[in-house]
A and B are shown apart, each in its own frame.
Chain A
Amino acid sequence: MEIKKLLFVTKFEELWFDALQSLLNLRNASLNHVVFLNVIEREKVAMRRGSGYQKSEEIRLREKANIRFIDWAETLFEQGMEVGVYIVVGSLVRKVIEAVGKEDVDLIVIGRPKQGKLEQFFSGSDVTEIVRRSAKPVLIYKHLSQDSKFSGEPFERPLLATDWMPASTKAVAYLKKLKGVVKEVHVIHVVQEKSLKGTSAMAVQKTRKECRRKLEEVCEELEAAGINARAHVYIGDSATEIEKAARECQATMIITGTSGKDAWKERWIGSIPKSLTEKSMFPSLLIPLNAEDGD
C-alpha cells in the first residue's frame, strides 16, 4: 500500500500548487507520479435557451485549466516525476471515480467543499460521496492557518485515530510504509463517555490502562517500522476529541480508517469520517477498509 501515484483534484478555487508541493516529501517514500484532474461542472457549459451547448465556454475553461496544469507539470517533470492530466466535463464524483479506475492511483487529494448546512443535509457533499465510494485513500486537504505553529507538510506529524477495528489496522499498515516522510505519529483512542457512566474511579482507570496498553502495541508496531509514535487516550465525543487531540499534539493531519458504511446510514447517524471531511480544520486522510495492498 505504497503511495506511488496520486490524483490531485482541483477546481482552482481551494487547491493550488502549493498544496501539492507540501505533499512532495512523499517522494521520500515512493511517490513518482502525479495525475491532475479538473472537472468542469456541467452547469457551466450546459445548454441554454437560445444559445445551445456552450462549446466556446468549455474550450475557454479547458484551456484555462490546461495553462495552469502545464505550468505545474513543468515543475514536476523537471524533478524527474511523471505527470498526467485530465480536464473533463461532468459530475465531480463520477469523474474522480473514473480517473481513479483509469490511472489506478494510490491516493486521492481533494480540497474541502464550501457548502452551507442545508446543502449538505439534502444533497450530501461531493467529497463525502467520493470518500464513501472510493476504494482508495482520500486526503481532504485543508490549508492550516498561516499564523499557526503547524508545519506545511501534512504527512510530517499525523494523528492516527484508532478504534481497533480492521479499518484502523489498515491505517496503521498504510502509515508503516511512510518511513522517511512521517517524523512522529500521535496515536489516539477516544473512549465514549457513556461507556464510563456508573463505574468507579478504579474502573475508569482500568479502561484507560487497557486502552493505553493497546495503543502502545500500535506504537511499537510503528516504531518497529522506523516511525516514532506516542499514545494518548481521550474521553468524550469522538469527532470533538479527535479535533482537540490534533490541536494539542500540533498534528499536521488526522488519519483514520473508514469502514464503508452505506450512505443512508451515514447520512442519518453521522460518522467520524463524515465529520472530518466536512468540519475538521485539519487535513484528513481517510483510508478505506477495502483499500488494496498494492504490494
Chain B
Amino acid sequence: MKAIFYKEWLKVRWYFILAIATSLGFSIFSILRINRVIELKGAGHIWEVMIQRDVIFIDLMQFVPIIMGICMAIVQFAPEMYHKSLKLTLHLPYSALKMTFVMLFSGFLLLLGTFFINMIVMNGYLSIVLAPELKWQILNTATVWYLAGIASYFLIAWIVFEPAWKRRLLNIGITLLLLKIFFMSDMPQAYNSFLPYLAIGSILIASLSWLSILRFKAGKQD
C-alpha cells in the first residue's frame, strides 16, 4: 500500500504543490479583499453587507475546489491511461479492487489536505475580524464548494478510467448534472440541511470508478 501511495505521489507531487499554492493564493486574495474593504469602509460595513445582503466575500473561490478536483483526477489518472499503463497497475499481484480504492484514496487525501489548509487559513483570519456566525456563514457556504471538489475528483476518475468513448460521454453527462447540484443557489448556507447527505453522496460516488475498472479489465471498446 505504501508503494501505491508512492506511485500516486510521484504522479501528482508537482500538481499537489501547485494546487496548494493556487488555492492558498485564492484564499489569501479573498482575505486581502476583505481586509481592504475593512480598511476603506470599516469592519461594520462587512458585517452589515453580510447580514443584510447575503454577501460572503469569497465568491471568487466558488469554482476553485471543483477545478482542483478535476485537475487532480486528470493529473493522477491520465498517465495510467496513457498507452494503457493501467494494465501494468492492475497486473500487480494485488487485488484490483483494493488497488483502485487505494489510488482513489491517496488522491482524495491529498485533495482533502489542500482543502484543509485553505480552511485553516481562512478560519484563522475570519475568526479575528468576524463574529462566529459570520465566519460560519462563509465557511459553511465554502464547504459545499469543497464537497463539489471531492465529488468532481471521483467523477472525473470514473470518466478517465472508462475505456470506451460512448460510455465516457454518458459518464460526462451524468457528471455535469451531478455537479450542477452543488451550484443550485448563491444563498449562503442554503445547503445546510442537505449537506450531510451531499457529503455521503460525494464519498459514495468513489465506487463508480470500480465499474470503469471492471469494464477496462473486460476490454470493453466502442
Decide whether A and B are members of one complex: no
Interfacial residues, chain A to chain B (CB-CB below 8 A): none
